[in-house]
Amino acid sequence: MGREVFFGEGPGWQCMAILERAGENARLYAPYGPVAEGPEAFTAAVSALRALGEKHSVLFIRSEPWAPVGRDDVAALGFFPARNLQPGLTWVQDLRKTRDELFSEFSANNRNRFRNAHKKGLSITSSTDVADVEILLDMIHDVSNNTGMQPHEDDYYRRQAKALLDRDAATLYVARHHDKPVAAAIVYDSATTRYYAHSGSLLEARNLHPGGPMLATMVLDAQARGQAVFDFMGAAPADQPDHPWAGFTQFKQSFGGRYRAYLGTWEMPITDKNRFAAQSNSATSGKAVG
């Protein structure tokens, strides 16, 4: 499947969209987006997304809205609820506090590993150089080889990086043991929120625990940038200890924060009007942000 990445923004909103082609068919996918500060900004974002979809004659647009709007508001713009592709819950940390208050909410292990990382020869750097996405790919390949996890194709990450890094809409982080990269991650950045998107680390470096200091740095940097929220992107429900995400969720929760529910996945027909003929136009009221 061919993919092309687009990035758009306007007053109070921004959105990354992936044009996915399979033969003569195409769809536009906005993962965790559009991100908007309010209903008016969300409507403007959807208009831009629809225009992009029409320009490329896509069958439909798939969206995962992140805005303080209700399900009825989303449906009124022409969307229909669809099967969720991403976890329905996320874990978020409110950054609107002092640095000391934020740091105190990290677990004792995270605080100690952050303070003492240099004693283990660990250093954390940030980058907006698209070439550094190759370091992230090395980490993702190592995770895949050792766990069986099936990542996206390499070009998926490369295209995202190219579309976002130059616009200050993403940042790459690399943890090094002396001079050797041992962990890496990419975060997406909006004016108000930083999203923990993709990460990986070398199995051989597991005893160094590079992920903790790296994530701590990403959270603290987001606060220093003036962002209000760090979204860890995806969390297992508290009452499902056997959930595949349970272990990773515990790691995310060790940096403080709370659960937040998403609006879920929605789809809007563009050229394929019959795709949703059997679906109801009604949607249950609810808020995504709270």
Please report which confidence band the pLDDT of residue 212 belongs to, taking 50, 70 and 90 as the band edges.
Answer: very high
**Which part of the chain is CATH 3.40.630.30?**
2-86+263-276, 89-260
Higher pLDDT among residues 190 and 73, named by residue: 73
CATH number of 89-260: 3.40.630.30
Q: Cα(220)–Cα(28) distance, rounded to whole angstroms?
A: 33
| Burial group, residue 270, by CB count within 10 angstroms (0-12, 13-18, 19+) | buried
CATH code, residues 2-86+263-276: 3.40.630.30
**Averaged pLDDT, 12-19:** 91
User: Quick check: pTM over 0.85?
Assistant: no
Per-residue pLDDT for 216 more than 90?
yes
What confidence tens digit (pLDDT) does each residue in 64-102 have? 998 889 999 999 999 999 988 777 789 999 999 999 999
- Whether the Cβ atoms of residue 2 and residue 178 lie closer than 8 Å to each other: no
Q: What is the pLDDT of residue 281?
A: 38
Residues sharing a CB contact under 8 Å with residue 28, sequence separation 6 or more, in sequence order: 17, 18, 19, 20, 49, 52, 53, 56, 58, 60, 61, 62, 270
Tell me the average pLDDT across 254-282. Answer: 77
Phi then psi dihedrals of residue 78, to 5 deg: 105, 10
Report the C-alpha gap between 15 and 89 in whole angstroms: 20
- pLDDT at site 283: 35
Residue 149 has pLDDT above 90, yes or no: no
Do the Cβ atoms of 188 and 66 come closer than 8 Å? no
Q: Residue 260 in 3-state DSSP? A: strand
